[in-house]
Chain A
Amino acid sequence: MNLDSATRRRFLQASGLGVGSVALSGWMGVLADRVQAASPTAKKPKSCVLIWSEGGASHKDTLDLKPDSKGAGDFKPIKTSASGIEISEHLPKLATHMHEGVLVRSMTTPEGAHARARYHLHTGYREGQGGLTYPSLGAITASELGNAKAAMPNFVSIGGRSYGAGFLGPKYQPLLVQDATKGVEDLKTLVSDKQFANRTGLLEEMEKAFFHDYEAGATIDHKTTYERAVKLMQSKEAKAFDIGAEPAAGKSKYGSGKFADGMLMARRLIEVGVPFVEVTLGGWDTHQDNFEKVKNLSTQIDNSVSALLADLKDRGLLDTTLVIWMGEFGRTPNINNKGAKPGRDHYPKAWSLAMFGGGLKGGQVVGKTDKEGATVAERPVKTGDFLATVCEVLGIDHTKDNEAVSGRPIKIVDKGNAPFTKLIV
């Protein structure tokens, strides 16, 4: 009981890995022909794709149109596959998936500057609060649902830097993919496969004496990490990072460009069991030229998200994959007067996000704004309420305490939140 946390962690790790007896078999040699297959009988844990609208999407021009309001803007609402729910005319394909999704139109959050808001929406905490760095939803999912033994990383972030593991530690940091067409850095050897096998063989041989003499816990972790890295290099799952391997027909419906490539990679990653993938689409900070920009961005979202949802459904993965589309805040209900092509400014007070799949009871709207889209009129949803809901949908106990530095217990989602899971599953 009274083990210090490092010892405790290592004990769990060692027993989980079957290396408690310090019997390390020739792992590097056998990896080449080992294929890591997912067990077909085990119940599949849920996964999550977070699509991040960096800059903050205008809710009144995407998911919560107010055609009769003062700052209504240029766009018309259209009907969707869910009766009574209308969204922007520039999201026609996504509209056909509305029966699989839930809109939250009553987000109301406290941060109006990009970086602080992004941090808050990713972690549920305020930047600097209590002197800690908090883990993001991706890191939480990786630590709660990820497989510590898997070759594949448990958290991948594509096209943006996302937010990391904070006090959970580097093991839950996202693997960053800057450019989906290039895949993962350092995944290929500098030498031939044969020479690489020689090298890992040598390394294994060399490690034996040191491992035997020093018996330090850190050497187990070092070895485990190298083992996983080599496994990743040689695994067929790693091919998920190679979007060039995708048949052209399957690729085109995602649209073209960096974001479309990232979304395609996300699907490939979910298919091989990565529990959390974040894909960023920048450009939503539309202080100027709002309508042209939002139209263009909406089309990208429309193509890629609808393609992702269709692919997940085809593969039987939609019920176990929660797809979230959100950003750091909404945009002002009124149109500003910045130049000839005006825009909308930051607006955290009332805004919208969308969720699909993941076992949700689709075709629903949570909350509502007033007729201007300016204030929340019904069922306000704070960041903590939302993240707690996401946790519940994914099967994560959000009331669980994680251990921050000095053994300080920190809840996955802070106290005082009210998940609305019952409304949507």
Chain B
Amino acid sequence: MKFLRVFALTAFSTLAVVGMGEFGTPLTAADTKADKKAERIKAKEEAKKKADDAAKKAEDAKKAGEAKAAEAAKIAADKKAAAPTKPAVSRDASAVAKLIDTQIDARLKKENIAPSPYGSDADFLRRVYLDITGVIPSYEKAKAFLDDQSTNKRERLVDELLADSNYGRKQADIWGTKLFTVDSANRFVQKEPLSAWLKEQFNKNTPWNAFVSSIVTATGPVDENPAVTYFLSNRSVDKLTDTTGQHFLGIRVSCAQCHNHPFTATKQNEYWGLAAFYSKVVPEKPANANKGGDNTKLGVTEGKTKSKTKDFFPESTKTVPAKFFGGEEPKLNANDPYRPALAKWLTSAANPYFAKAMVNRTWAQLFGNGIVDPIDDMIEKNKPSHPELLDELTRQFTASGFDVKHLIKGIVLSQAYQRTSKPSTGNKSDEELFSHMAVKMMTAEELFDSLTMITGTGAGGNETKKTGVKGVTSGPRANFVNFYVAGAEEFKSTEYEAGIPQALRLMNSKIAGNPAALKQFGTGKPADILEKMYITALSRRPTDAEVQKLTAHLGKAGSTTEAYGDILWALLNSSEFSMVR
């Protein structure tokens, strides 16, 4: 049981206790003016090098896994120059999987909880398709996998899916929402360039540190550097600070915006110290797109003084010197950009939160629950269920050169991930030891893409079309997602959060009830048609009992077509369809 839903503010006292050790010292070493200049040049060079490395790495990735591994190891070595020597890190994902299973199994044994058995091929197929690419497999793909007799087919499938461009799209859906929350100040800012950029970055597997660094330091016009959208959409220093804490460090810092925790005096200053790194950002104002404004070339610059952007500083703002969260006050030259220093600290291998937050987040994406849960509340009082495992995975992730695909592959190859989500005797109440897989809800995007793949409604599903308003995209997918999410902030994947309007939409609109969709199942013996329907909708074959019952229904309905329409409707409206089992 996780019982600590702790007010995130307690993080601050924790930080004070944990401290960051030598963390932060590289910057304060630059004491003399010459040193500072050298430091600046170095920071610039490093930023450039990071970008170059990322580009180069993407190219290499296409060629050979070994070359990629060497490159990643080199980056890791560069990053970890000051870190103590640790045992070699395996580039073999199955070694990561083994590490996971050793730790998970040991804990289950200790708690005397029996794990559920290994899940079926069908379970694995559907789960891994949705978890990696965000959409169910097509009938053909599903059937081929189910019929494949080779022993290594699961790993091959994982490789195939990680190389699928839908992988990047799924991650772009996840991160697009986190980095761009629509509000009154950004509603005319285009989201599309950011989505496309995110998709590209994830697909070419840009190392996580380089990825975050390019967001945090982004400048320039959006058509040249879509990462600046982060600043165009988070148009105030507190939003930037909150997002940085929550998504990149796994800590909700936002409560400290307005008040201190009762037990320490410095916390509010911690918040505003972090915020100060963003204080010189100048995001251009989006034009009113309803009146024909063109926002395709908006830019972001870093000024020499405090930003004068309207509403950039909330009323609660405290002006304090820039200070790393829980760490040092770096020596910054007022004329220089502040964000490179922040990015360097943030994405450093020595940062105790950065890599860990991503590992935990990725784990939660796949398992439904984080090792620390909630995932954005990684504070001392909110204990990880498996601390050693989290530390070791973090070390592996850092040493792999922040390779996200490698991390995902390692996790999904584990037995823990591949267990059935059916609880077995004695493990039903376990929610945090991973004795069985959690049943997750499809996201709105996954539901739309999966439904439209079957019913064909929604004009291809993936498409976004331009509205009359320049730069603002709409279309069936975005509309469905907006309708489904209904403005809600965040979803926990293990909870069903939809309401009546959403259920009505699925039951009574063509998205799950398009008669034309029946064509794909052809004509023939009922058993064959039903099998095709089940594999298409649920990625599994029907049981004998199901075939029997449904065959009986065929006789009861007004016509055969009507009966099959009923069956498809029921399949697509079932909880099994909208859940990742």
Residue positions of A touching B, CB distance < 8 A:
2-7, 113-116, 119, 126-133, 153, 164-167, 169-171, 173, 175-176, 184-191, 195, 198-199, 202-203, 205-207, 209-211, 213-219, 221-223, 225-226, 228-230, 232-233, 403, 405-409
Given A4-B3, A128-B183, A214-B422, A408:B576 Cβ within 8 A: no
- Subset of 30 A-B contacts with CB under 8 Å: A2-B3, A3-B1, A4-B5, A7-B431, A114-B184, A130-B254, A131-B239, A133-B181, A153-B501, A166-B487, A169-B488, A170-B485, A170-B497, A173-B486, A198-B556, A198-B566, A199-B566, A202-B550, A202-B553, A203-B570, A207-B576, A210-B575, A210-B576, A210-B581, A215-B428, A219-B579, A225-B496, A232-B504, A405-B490, A406-B377
A114 neighbours in B (Cβ, 8 Å): 184
Task: Let me know if B486 and A222 touch, CB within 8 A.
Answer: no
For residue A176, give the distance in angstroms from its CB to the closest CB of chain B: 8
B438 neighbours in A (Cβ, 8 Å): 216
B8 neighbours in A (Cβ, 8 Å): 406, 408
For residue A287, give the distance in angstroms from its CB to the closest CB of chain B: 15
Task: Let me know if A203 and B488 touch, CB within 8 A.
Answer: no
Task: Let me know if A2 and B422 touch, CB within 8 A.
Answer: no
With CB as the reference atom, state the residue of chain A lying closest to B487. A164
A403 to B7, CA, bound (A): 10
Instruction: List the one stretch of B139-147, B292-300, B508-516 in contact with chain A.
Output: B508-516
A173 to B501, CA, bound (A): 10
A219 to B422, CA, bound (A): 13
B494 neighbours in A (Cβ, 8 Å): 6, 216-218
Please tell me if B421 contacts chain A, counting CB pairs below 8 Å.
Answer: yes
For residue A112, give the distance in angstroms from its CB to the closest CB of chain B: 12
A171 to B246, CA, bound (A): 24
Given A175-B500, A198-B557, A408:B495 Cβ within 8 A: no
Task: Let me know if A190 and B490 touch, CB within 8 A.
Answer: no
Task: Let me know if A408 and B252 touch, CB within 8 A.
Answer: yes
Task: Let me know if A169 and B500 touch, CB within 8 A.
Answer: no
Given A2-B1, A4-B431, A215-B428, A195:B558 Cβ within 8 A: yes
B497 neighbours in A (Cβ, 8 Å): 169-171
A-contact bits for B536-577, CB 8 A (1 contact / 0 none): 000000010110011001001110001001110111011110
A230 to B507, CA, bound (A): 9
Please give 14 more A-B residue pairs, beta carbons under 8 A apart, in addition to A207-B574, A207-B575, A216-B439: A4-B3, A128-B239, A131-B238, A132-B254, A170-B488, A170-B502, A173-B487, A186-B505, A190-B513, A191-B565, A202-B566, A218-B441, A225-B502, A406-B6
Task: Let me know if B500 and A232 touch, CB within 8 A.
Answer: yes
A226 to B5, CA, bound (A): 30
B21 neighbours in A (Cβ, 8 Å): none
With CB as the reference atom, state the residue of chain B lying closest to A133. B489
Residues B428-482 near A (CB distance < 8 A): 428, 431, 438-439, 441
A165 to B491, CA, bound (A): 13
A203 to B570, CA, bound (A): 5
A203 to B571, CA, bound (A): 7
A175 to B502, CA, bound (A): 10
Task: Let me know if A131 and B439 touch, CB within 8 A.
Answer: no
Please tell me if B492 contacts chain A, counting CB pairs below 8 Å.
Answer: yes
Please tell me the number of chain B residues within 8 Å of chain A, measured between CB atoms. 81
**Residue in A2, A113, A218, A406 whose beta carbon sits within 8 Å of that of B376 in the complex:** A406
Task: Let me know if B255 and A408 touch, CB within 8 A.
Answer: yes
A408 neighbours in B (Cβ, 8 Å): 7-8, 252, 255
Given A132-B254, A202-B570, A406-B377, A214:B495 Cβ within 8 A: no
Please tell me if B217 contacts chain A, counting CB pairs below 8 Å.
Answer: no
Residues B194-248 near A (CB distance < 8 A): 236, 238-239, 242, 246
Please tell me if B19 contacts chain A, counting CB pairs below 8 Å.
Answer: no
B5 neighbours in A (Cβ, 8 Å): 4-5, 403, 406-407
Please tell me if B360 contacts chain A, counting CB pairs below 8 Å.
Answer: no
A153 neighbours in B (Cβ, 8 Å): 499-501
Task: Let me know if A226 and B573 touch, CB within 8 A.
Answer: yes
Task: Let me know if B499 and A131 touch, CB within 8 A.
Answer: no
Task: Let me know if B574 and A173 touch, CB within 8 A.
Answer: no
A-contact bits for B1-32, CB 8 A (1 contact / 0 none): 11101111000000000000000000000000
Task: Let me know if A128 and B376 touch, CB within 8 A.
Answer: no
The 7 closest A-B CB pairs, nearest first, are: A407-B5, A131-B254, A115-B184, A2-B3, A221-B496, A216-B439, A229-B503
Please tell me if B320 contacts chain A, counting CB pairs below 8 Å.
Answer: no
Please tell me if B321 contacts chain A, counting CB pairs below 8 Å.
Answer: no
Please tell me if B257 contacts chain A, counting CB pairs below 8 Å.
Answer: yes
Task: Let me know if B513 and A165 touch, CB within 8 A.
Answer: no
B557 neighbours in A (Cβ, 8 Å): 195, 198
Task: Let me know if B488 and A131 touch, CB within 8 A.
Answer: no
Task: Let me know if B439 and A229 touch, CB within 8 A.
Answer: no
A192 to B283, CA, bound (A): 55
Task: Let me know if A164 and B488 touch, CB within 8 A.
Answer: yes
A206 to B558, CA, bound (A): 20
Please tell me if B134 contacts chain A, counting CB pairs below 8 Å.
Answer: no
A230 to B495, CA, bound (A): 21
Task: Let me know if B486 and A170 touch, CB within 8 A.
Answer: yes
**Residue in A126, A173, A219 whose beta carbon sits within 8 Å of that of B488 in the complex:** A173
B489 neighbours in A (Cβ, 8 Å): 132-133, 166-167, 405
Q: Which has the most chain B C-beta neighbours within 10 Å: A114, A128, A164, A198?
A: A128
Please tell me if B374 contacts chain A, counting CB pairs below 8 Å.
Answer: yes
A199 to B468, CA, bound (A): 39
**Residue in A6, A209, A229 whose beta carbon sits within 8 Å of that of B495 in the complex:** A6
Task: Let me know if B509 and A199 touch, CB within 8 A.
Answer: no
For residue B441, give the distance in angstroms from its CB to the closest CB of chain A: 6
**Residue in A2, A131, A164, A219 whose beta carbon sits within 8 Å of that of B242 in the complex:** A131
B565 neighbours in A (Cβ, 8 Å): 191
A187 to B492, CA, bound (A): 28
Task: Let me know if A186 and B495 touch, CB within 8 A.
Answer: no
With CB as the reference atom, state the residue of chain A lying closest to B579. A218
Task: Let me know if A405 and B252 touch, CB within 8 A.
Answer: yes
Task: Let me know if B238 and A186 touch, CB within 8 A.
Answer: no
For residue B18, give the distance in angstroms from its CB to the closest CB of chain A: 19
B562 neighbours in A (Cβ, 8 Å): 195
Task: Let me know if A128 and B508 touch, CB within 8 A.
Answer: no
A228 to B6, CA, bound (A): 34
Task: Let me know if B421 and A185 touch, CB within 8 A.
Answer: no
Q: Which has the most chain A C-beta neighbours within 10 Å: B1, B254, B553, B567?
A: B254
Task: Let me know if A216 and B579 touch, CB within 8 A.
Answer: yes
Task: Let me know if A187 and B184 touch, CB within 8 A.
Answer: no
B508 neighbours in A (Cβ, 8 Å): 186-190, 233
Task: Let me know if A219 and B1 touch, CB within 8 A.
Answer: no
Please tell me if B133 contacts chain A, counting CB pairs below 8 Å.
Answer: no
Please tell me if B303 contacts chain A, counting CB pairs below 8 Å.
Answer: no
Task: Let me know if B575 and A219 touch, CB within 8 A.
Answer: yes
Task: Let me know if B499 and A171 touch, CB within 8 A.
Answer: yes
Task: Let me know if A130 and B255 touch, CB within 8 A.
Answer: yes
With CB as the reference atom, state the residue of chain B lying closest to A174. B486
Task: Let me know if A199 and B570 touch, CB within 8 A.
Answer: yes
Please tell me if B347 contacts chain A, counting CB pairs below 8 Å.
Answer: no
With CB as the reference atom, state the residue of chain A lying closest to B503. A229
A211 to B509, CA, bound (A): 25
Given A3-B1, A5-B5, A206-B571, A225:B500 Cβ within 8 A: yes
With CB as the reference atom, state the residue of chain A lying closest to B504. A186
Q: Which has the most chain A C-beta neighbours within 10 Å: B255, B376, B549, B550?
A: B255
Task: Let me know if B575 and A186 touch, CB within 8 A.
Answer: no
A207 neighbours in B (Cβ, 8 Å): 574-576
A366 to B228, CA, bound (A): 49
Task: Let me know if A3 and B573 touch, CB within 8 A.
Answer: no
Q: Which has the most chain B C-beta neighbours within 10 Å: A166, A198, A223, A233?
A: A198
Given A167-B489, A218-B495, A127:B567 Cβ within 8 A: no
Given A202-B566, A218-B494, A406-B8, A130:B257 Cβ within 8 A: yes
A210 neighbours in B (Cβ, 8 Å): 574-576, 581
A250 to B167, CA, bound (A): 57
B502 neighbours in A (Cβ, 8 Å): 170, 225
B315 neighbours in A (Cβ, 8 Å): 126
